[in-house]
């Protein structure tokens, strides 16, 4: 009889272990599915680029030439396309009002990109422009 009772105890312990294993596998599958669909939604969002330039600015302190791409989500690309002239003017005025000493420092490109992104978003009235990329940037001290 001792053998039978030990067998039943071992049987019930295995059942609990199997149930816990099934729950862990179900949680792993659910997490994997959630991550997959989250990735799919992010990949489907898409990124759009709108090009501006070359923009040439001359002032008493410096002269510069820049070609700019505005990065946005595909859903916001139409907003940027509709206001292309206003954005172009905002980019020109931002480049004309730059701190030339800071623009020539090591983090100068990041400073210029941030200033242009802020001016584009100010014109749009939203945060539609995720980033402004300088594809060509030359600055010269006068």
Q: Token pair for residue 13?
A: 């312990």
DSSP 8-state symbol, 74? G
Range among 27-31, 39-43, 94-98 with highest mean pLDDT value: 27-31
CA distance 90 to 122: 9
Find out whether 137 and 109 touch, Cβ atoms under 8 Å.
Answer: yes
**Domain assignments of the chain as residue spans, ordered by start:** 1-45, 46-141
pLDDT of residue 109: 86
CA distance 94 to 98: 6
CA distance 3 to 137: 84
Domain 46-141 has CATH 3.40.50.2300: no
Dihedral sign for Cα 133, 135, 141, 142, please.
Answer: negative
Mean pLDDT to the nearest integer, 123-135: 87
**Rounded to the nearest 5 degrees, what angle is found at the Cα of 141, between the Cα atoms of 136 and 142?**
125
Burial class (CB in 10 A: 0-12, 13-18, 19+), 98: buried
Q: 3: pLDDT confidence band, cut at 50, 70 and 90?
A: low
Lowest mean pLDDT among 2-6, 32-36, 42-46, 49-53: 2-6
DSSP 8-state symbol, 61? S
Q: 77: pLDDT confidence band, cut at 50, 70 and 90?
A: confident
């Amino acid at each position: 009889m001792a053998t039978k009772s030990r067998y039943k105890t071992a049987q019930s312990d295995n059942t609990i272990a199997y149930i816990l294993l099934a729950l862990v596998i179900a949680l792993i599958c659910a997490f994997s599915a959630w991550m997959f669909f989250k990735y799919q939604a992010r990949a489907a969002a898409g990124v759009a680029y709108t090009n501006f330039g070359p923009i040439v600015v001359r002032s008493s302190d410096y002269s510069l030439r820049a070609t700019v791409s505005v990065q946005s989500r595909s859903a916001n690309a139409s907003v940027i396309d509709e206001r292309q002239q206003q954005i172009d003017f905002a980019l020109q005025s931002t480049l004309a009002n730059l701190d030339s000493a800071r623009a020539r420092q090591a983090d100068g490109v990041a400073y210029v990109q941030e200033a242009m992104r802020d001016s584009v978003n100010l014109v749009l009235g939203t945060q539609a422009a995720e980033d402004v990329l300088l594809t060509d940037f030359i600055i010269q001290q006068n």
